[in-house]
Structure 1
Amino acid sequence: MRTKNELYQEALRTVALRRQTARALAQDAQAQAEAAIPALRHAEEEVRVRGIRCALAGAAGKDRTEAAAALADARQKLTALLAESGRPANALEPHFTCPKCQDTGSVNGRTCACVHKVMQQLRRQEIEALSSLSISSFDTMKLEYYPSVADPEIGESIRTYMAEVLADLRDYAADFSPATRESLLLLGNAGLGKTHAALAIAGEVLRQNYDVIYVSCPDFFGKLEALHFGSDPNGEEEALFQTASNADLLILDDLGTEFNSSFFLTNLYSLLNNRLGAKLPTIVTTNVTDGALLEKLYTEKISSRLAGFVQIKFFGNDIRVQKANE
């Protein structure tokens, strides 16, 4: 899991590599064109010289009409030479991925939108590497896997109920804002789509240029504990904890499958408390559906924090098993 700054720096390197590649390809194209068109190098030099003369005339405050006309004529001759060989007028120019910043990563002194897009792509890749599922959308959550039979606990068809749940979660993601969105506790038995729904939310929130951190509870807190009691010369433990604490949206997946230690309880409480204090939303998924068991496992302080989350219970039969039997 990378910090937001690490993600930003990697995105800048990615964009810089794009620029370097585009310029290298343009140089190759120029060399090939010059080899095929004997008069091309002279035509390019003529454009360069005429361009300098036009710029100097403008800088000196002189009339640029004649210099501009000569430059236009030189460019026309160059374009004609390229056309004769079947090449477009821009054949010798670098073809940048982002025309707005020309792969510099900056426009008018501000970070270009293309950098944020790369950051989003990198974070998506990271989340997919850390989770058991790829980031998809709510469209891939098929209601036919939820039984169309009534459940006494909800008093209606499970399929109807889950359609409403998924619609609410889709709305949650569609108009996301860290300042206004509630924290969610998605609970239910294994294989009912809790992680799938959380990742669908993540994909939509990332698309809106908010930063999302996904962690599996056993993996994340296990790594923190290993760093805490082992060697951590670079302060990775603190960096990871602060990254999770400060994310626009944090997804804590599979609460209840971790090794329950005093270190885990202390850090889980601190993480939840920090995010609640900063009014940042967290989505927790868990197979623990019994409130009394939740309090027994995670102490009254932690369960009281989780009690402030909007609880959304998933119903149905294990979808993974259904798909395996198809």
Structure 2
Amino acid sequence: MRRVERCDCWREGLSARLMEEARIPPRYRRCDLETFVTYPNEKLLGAVKLARRFAAEFPAIQKGLCLIGPPGIGKTHLAVAVLRRVILTKGARGLFYDTRDLLRVIRSTYNPLVRTAEMDILRPVMEADLLVLDDLGSEKTSEWVEETMNLIVNTRYNERRHTIFTSNYDDTPDDADPDCLKSRIGFRIHSRLHEMCEFLEFDGADYRHLPPNGGVDDLVTMWKVKPNRRTLPARAKGPIRAQLRQPAQGKGPDLGWTGGKAGS
């Protein structure tokens, strides 16, 4: 019996449809692992190496990825490059969402004038073979946000579906820091992420500031002169109180800042 084989045009059509359904923003549609510009940065090179291995071995991998670092260092490029690679080479159903945009779209379904149901948005997110959630932690925290994100993350965790997260927030052990990843996304999601993802924290030059004809040497220079993003002003140890100065004759009491006079 003669075996029927799919023609190349069918495969190309399938890839094109999967790419269209992946919702990759136009700015990132050409992102590729081979075009990612690297420079002597050990942690960045390690992240690129792991991203390539992830794409090559997908879906026979144990964990997803969580790329953490400051803006502009290539986290989204790497995440989308992996997503594109597994769609085009493995025929995987992939999906990209900026976390804030995903929550906005879900919230819009509560509008009675919108005919799209909440599950119409959530189902592809929870069932995609590979999901990229960009900018995790940037969303304004609330009980609804945490419960919605918990539903998505837990469902994908239970179904063993792989996810790539990116975030600008450090994964520090200081639970009291309101700007650490755990505080931004909640303890439950943070715990799940450590079970389902390999964390890659790296720093580097901001590619968005690279001159049009810039190259590796420029990236190295930019990285070396870049201020340490973890060097922040010390937090006040107690509540800040307004200090009253002695008023000038005939004037009301003056607050100890440049905001004006009390009672004026």
**Correspondent of 2:144 among 235, 243, 263:** 263
**For residue 231 of structure 1, what is the aligned residue in structure 2?**
113
Q: What amino acid maps onto 1:197 in structure 2? A: L
CA, structure 1 residues 285+323, in 2 after alignment: closer, same or farther (shift >3 Å)? Answer: farther
Deviation at 1:117, TM superposition (A): 3.2
Deviation track 1:213-262 (CA, whole Å, cap 9, x = no partner) reads 11111111111011124434342x20210101001000001112223232
CA, structure 1 residues 191+284, in 2 after alignment: closer, same or farther (shift >3 Å)? Answer: same
Deviation track 1:36-61 (CA, whole Å, cap 9, x = no partner) reads xxxxxxxxxxxxxxxxxxxxxxxxxx
Is 1:322 equivalent to 2:210 in the alignment?
yes
Q: What amino acid maps onto 2:95 in structure 1? A: I
Query: What's the TM-score, normalizing by structure 1?
Result: 0.57
Q: Following the alignment from structure 1 to structure 2, what is the Cα–Cα distance between the partners of residues 129 and 285?
A: 15
Deviation track 1:169-210 (CA, whole Å, cap 9, x = no partner) reads 101101211x53412111000011100001110111002111
Query: What's the TM-score, normalizing by structure 2?
Result: 0.69
CA, structure 1 residues 130+142, in 2 after alignment: closer, same or farther (shift >3 Å)? Answer: closer
**For residue 192 of structure 2, what is the aligned residue in structure 1?**
305
Is 1:190 equivalent to 2:71 in the alignment?
yes
**For residue 27 of structure 1, what is the aligned residue in structure 2?**
none
Q: What amino acid maps onto 1:243 in structure 2? A: P
Deviation track 1:83-130 (CA, whole Å, cap 9, x = no partner) reads xxxxxxxxxxxxxxxxxxxxxxxx96x987744532321332454653
Q: What amino acid maps onto 2:18 in structure 1? A: R
**For residue 160 of structure 1, what is the aligned residue in structure 2?**
42
- Output the aligned Cα RMSD: 2.4
**Unaligned 5+ runs, structure 2:** 215-264
Q: Following the alignment from structure 1 to structure 2, what is the Cα–Cα distance between the partners of residues 183 and 202?
A: 12
The structure in which a higher percent of residues are helix is: 1
**Correspondent of 1:277 among 158, 178, 193:** 158
Q: What amino acid maps onto 1:314 in structure 2? A: F
Deviation at 1:285, TM superposition (A): 0.4
Is 1:141 equivalent to 2:36 in the alignment?
yes
* Residues 24, 95 of structure 2: 8 Å contact kept: no
Identity of aligned residues (%): 25
SS at match of 1:228: coil
CA, structure 1 residues 136+115, in 2 after alignment: closer, same or farther (shift >3 Å)? Answer: same
**Correspondent of 2:133 among 241, 252, 264:** 252
SS at match of 2:164: strand
**For residue 241 of structure 1, what is the aligned residue in structure 2?**
122
* Residues 24, 96 of structure 2: 8 Å contact kept: no
Deviation at 1:307, TM superposition (A): 2.0
Q: Following the alignment from structure 1 to structure 2, what is the Cα–Cα distance between the partners of residues 135 and 202?
A: 11
**For residue 222 of structure 1, what is the aligned residue in structure 2?**
104
